[in-house]
Structure 1
Amino acid sequence: MIISIGHAISDYIYDVFVLKFDFWLAFGIVAQLLFTARFLVQWLASEREGNSVMPLSFWYFSMAGGLMTLIYGIVRREPIIIMGQALAMVIYTRNLVLIFRNKRRQRGA
């Protein structure tokens, strides 16, 4: 029974990551790595400051990873990824607009 489950898991991993490997799978993996990198950037910035902070690079990684994941979802015809990332892109864009608007105000003051 345990050997059977292990074999099934091994077959699944081989099917998903080896047999189905193509450009778009590689693209999706890079997208997910970029998206995940934003948490590392945020954590390191917060540790450096000794306070929870959201550096500008967090939003850049969010945009890059989110856009690539959205493209991946569109190409793969994955409605859940498309819906989630399309909304996320609006939020990331809005946050960047607010950040740059605030910086412009601070420079003008």
Structure 2
Amino acid sequence: MQDTTLWIIVGFAGQALFTMRFVVQWLASEKAKRSLIPVAFWFFSIGGGVVLLAYAIHRDDPVFIAGQAGGLIIYARNLWLIYGEKRRAA
């Protein structure tokens, strides 16, 4: 497999993970009949963000790199807040 083909597959895999966060959020909200952001949303965000960041680095795209790197900080912070709240409640 050519290097370019492999990286296109990596890029689409990252995009698929990133898209799944919206699917998870939508299904959870429909089930609850109100807007929800489940924890899985943030895990898919991190998974997709990491893979897309690798793809952006490979493509040497500074705009894409900055966007994905910044997003990863926000996703990780949200998980930190969620688990901190769970620890305090326990």
**Residues 87, 74 of structure 1: alpha-carbon distance in 2 compared, 3 angstrom cutoff:** same
Task: Give the structure-2-normalised TM-score.
Answer: 0.94
Structure 1 CA distance for aligned equivalents of residues 10 and 68 of structure 2? 15
Count of aligned positions: 88
Q: Which residue of 1 aligns with 2:14?
A: 31
Q: Which residue of 2 aligns with 1:95?
A: 78
For 1:9-28, what aligned pairs fall within 5 Å after superposition? 22-28=5-11
- 2:44 corresponds to 1:61: yes
Structure 2 CA distance for aligned equivalents of residues 100 and 75 of structure 1? 33
Q: Which residue of 2 aligns with 1:72?
A: 55
1:21 offset after TM fit, Å? 5.2
| Poorly superposed stretches of 4+, deviation over 3 Å | none
Q: 1:34 is aligned with what amino acid?
A: L
Once the two structures are superposed, residues 46-80 of structure 1 have per-residue CA deviations (whole angstroms, 9 ceiling, x without a partner) of: 00011100000000000000110001100110111
Structure 1, unaligned runs of 5 or more: 1-19
1:41 offset after TM fit, Å? 0.4
Query: Alignment RMSD, CA only?
Result: 1.2
Structure 2 CA distance for aligned equivalents of residues 83 and 41 of structure 1? 25
Q: Which residue of 1 aligns with 2:29?
A: 46
Larger radius of gyration: 1
**Sequence identity percentage:** 48
Structure number with greater CO (CA < 8 Å, separation at least 6) is 2
Structure 1 CA distance for aligned equivalents of residues 24 and 12 of structure 2? 18
Task: Give the structure-1-normalised TM-score.
Answer: 0.78
